[in-house]
Structure 1
Amino acid sequence: MSDVRTKAEHTEAIRRDRRVAVVINTRSRRGRRHYFEALDLIHAQGFEPLAEYSVVNPKRLRDRLDRALATKPDLLIVGGGDGTLSSAVRHIAHRDVALGVLPLGTTNNFARSLGLPLDLAGAIRVFDSGKVADIDLGMADDRPFANLASFGVSVEVAGTVKPWLKRLIGRPAYPLTALTILPGHRPFRAVITVDGQRHELLTHQLNIANGRFHGGWQVAKDISIDNGLLVAYQLGSGKKLRLLGETLVRATTGRWRSLAGGPFVMGREMLLETEPPMAADVDGEVRLRTPIRLRVVPNGVRVMVEKSFVDR
């Protein structure tokens, strides 16, 4: 990023001037329930926000983010799920403003990848006691993403999972919904080209991750949101029974027993082609189709994190 303060200068400005703006999606799983509690805790931490917005209609989210940024805060505090936070990331990418995360969604993959507390009070304490860090930004064609681009079963799950089920049971709603879809799902062939090398696979599910978590569970310990690499991995190979079994294990235990199909494919840039062409779920929004070129922009976004976060 250019024309921005150093991370140390930015951290000091937040602590000294306390210029923050707040946007909370009250349609998220916990946003409506905790909206006033979040504001009270932010005020109790010594912040007097320049603007406070609740978002009832998701179509107004971008407008509220723009209005909040127009107040020129040093820290933009955003509450919601991964889709809300991904929208915020797109707004502040390459800008001299840091994102403060209130994890109010179902899976909170972005907050988990940053190592942030998932309780509201803990997350808000980070705004005062933490530090500014620069993390990677993923790009799917020209669309930025914070956490994950996925293809296959998960795209259908995202469009099928019931909001009431997410509110009732949280993260297990996704694998349980997948169990209803898998019996009729057909595998697809994918070719991932990285540094001139082609990797071919047959699978029901392919993910390309910038972050370290998927569905609220850790994918692998050596995946990082701050290592300058994207990671592609498949779940369950092309064998439906194996993926059904692994999905059932995940629904009941919260873990993938295995990541079938061999090692991860890692790189700064990837070309993904599929047969047949497929829709892509990019941080919760289905807007692109294969073929897609994916790349990572190192240090593309500023965030507020714990002091212990390893900022490369």
Structure 2
Amino acid sequence: MNITVIFNPTAGGGRDRRLRHFIRTLEQGGARVRLYHTRAPGDAIRYLKGLEDQGNCVVAAGGDGTVNEVLNGLRPGVALALFPIGTANVLAKELGLPRRPEAAAKVVLSGRSLPVTPATLNGRRFMVMCGVGYDAWVVDQVDLILKRRIGKLAYALSMIRQLARYGKVSYRVSVDGRPLDCFSAVITNGRYYGGSFVLSRQANIARAKLQVLLFQRSGVWFLLGCLVALMMGRLERRDGVASVSAEKVTVEVSRYLAGSAVRPVGEAAWPRPGPEPIQADGDPAGWLPAEIVLENQAVPVRVPQ
């Protein structure tokens, strides 16, 4: 078995010792391993696209951002595997993957391949989720240096800083052609958010469908209530949160709010703020407007037997 391992040395603060155990177990199991250390954002995509033969399987050794880059460089028919050593590892949680190096290596060598259908965001693939509004602001404004030092707490600090912005922008989300309005939205392929929090009980990573969660009320207290509901696994039960299935989603800004004045987008008298960010798999992924579409072909992902 020929395996390419893409290692992000900055993920989770770096895990070189665990990586050595992981690779040793692969080689002891008879695999031929090619290891690549990423050097900058986008490096994994460039490296993989430059390989004529990626092997039977490409392993993303890092967090969800590393998985996203590997996914975007992966050739059709090549299996995707994970060695979760990042901050959140949402996809690894979704798939029930072990974190111990030896156990993770055995999944690569002797696990089964689960077909998982990615989606594209403005042409770029993602596996887990994307978000606009509050969710995207938090990711866009997180301190990356602090993230390397304190992990998930850096996201918590960013969440606190972005609370006051919630409700200042509203979005028009088209779900399979049906227009809906909201103040934030998360489009997800799976159940989990931020590692272990249940975002949607209706989502299923093995199903070729996206689940769209729309936050349709403004106000900081409403948002705080949603965060509490998320921690309790009851977000979809909260009034003001809509959850609908979709295959194609488009998102654009519909209105900006400043004080008590609401102005439609495009009205010349209103000085528009900066571009609205969007996040995918926990990393910044560009700006609105956005088109999110399920792909036609699933990717084989290595999971436990």
User: Given the two structures, how large is their TM-score scaled by the length of structure 2?
Assistant: 0.81
* Match in the other structure for 2:262: none
- Matching residue within 20, 31, 43 for 1:60: 43
How far has the Cα of 1:29 moved from its partner? 0.9
Give per-residue Cα distances to partners, 1:34-68, cap 9 Å, x unaligned.
Answer: 3323322322333231x21122433532333335x
Give runs of aligned pairs for residues 228-247 of structure 1, distance below 5 A.
Answer: 228-235=208-215, 237-247=217-227
Aligned residue pair count: 282
**Identical amino acids, percent of aligned pairs:** 25
- Matching residue within 274, 280, 298 for 1:300: 298
- Matching residue within 136, 145, 159 for 2:140: 159
How far has the Cα of 1:180 moved from its partner? 2.2
CA contact (8 A) 1:160 1:177 kept: yes
Give per-residue Cα distances to partners, 1:180-200, cap 9 Å, x unaligned.
Answer: 221244432222223443222
* Match in the other structure for 1:20: 3
Distance 1:236 1:293 in 2: 20
Worse-superposed segment, 192-201 or 106-115: 192-201
Give per-residue Cα distances to partners, 1:175-222, cap 9 Å, x unaligned.
Answer: 332012212444322222234432223x2x311112322211221233
* Residue identity opposite 1:45 in structure 2: G
How far has the Cα of 1:168 moved from its partner? 4.9
CA RMSD, aligned part only? 2.6
- Matching residue within 239, 249, 274 for 2:253: 274
* Match in the other structure for 2:271: none
* Match in the other structure for 2:125: 144
Distance 2:54 2:178 in 1: 45
* Match in the other structure for 2:66: 84
* Match in the other structure for 1:126: 107
How far has the Cα of 1:292 moved from its partner? 2.1
* Match in the other structure for 1:215: 194
* Residue identity opposite 1:275 in structure 2: S
* Match in the other structure for 1:310: none
Distance 1:83 1:231 in 2: 20
Distance 2:156 2:226 in 1: 10
Gap change, CA 1:198 and 1:219, over 3 Å in 2? same
* Match in the other structure for 1:46: 30
Distance 2:295 2:77 in 1: 16
Q: Secondary structure at the match of 1:20?
A: strand
CA contact (8 A) 1:174 1:215 kept: no
| Structure 1: segments with no counterpart, 5+ residues | 1-17, 308-312
CA contact (8 A) 2:198 2:231 kept: no
* Residue identity opposite 2:203 in structure 1: I
Q: Secondary structure at the match of 1:226?
A: coil
* Match in the other structure for 1:225: 205
* Match in the other structure for 2:56: 74
* Residue identity opposite 2:21 in structure 1: E
* Match in the other structure for 2:269: none
Give per-residue Cα distances to partners, 1:12-36, cap 9 Å, x unaligned.
Answer: xxxxxx1112111111115444332
How far has the Cα of 1:85 moved from its partner? 0.5
Gap change, CA 1:254 and 1:119, over 3 Å in 2? farther
Distance 1:39 1:66 in 2: 22
User: Given the two structures, how large is their TM-score scaled by the length of structure 1?
Assistant: 0.79
* Match in the other structure for 1:206: 185
How far has the Cα of 1:246 moved from its partner? 4.3
CA contact (8 A) 2:181 2:216 kept: no
CA contact (8 A) 1:23 1:55 kept: yes
Q: Secondary structure at the match of 1:76?
A: strand
* Match in the other structure for 1:3: none
Worse-superposed segment, 283-292 or 122-131: 283-292
| Structure 2: segments with no counterpart, 5+ residues | 256-274
How far has the Cα of 1:256 moved from its partner? 5.3
* Match in the other structure for 2:266: none
Distance 2:94 2:151 in 1: 18
Q: Secondary structure at the match of 1:222?
A: coil
Gap change, CA 1:31 and 1:48, over 3 Å in 2? farther
Q: Secondary structure at the match of 2:159?
A: helix
* Match in the other structure for 1:262: 241
* Residue identity opposite 1:222 in structure 2: Q
How far has the Cα of 1:156 moved from its partner? 2.5
Worse-superposed segment, 111-120 or 143-152: 111-120
Gap change, CA 1:167 and 1:236, over 3 Å in 2? farther
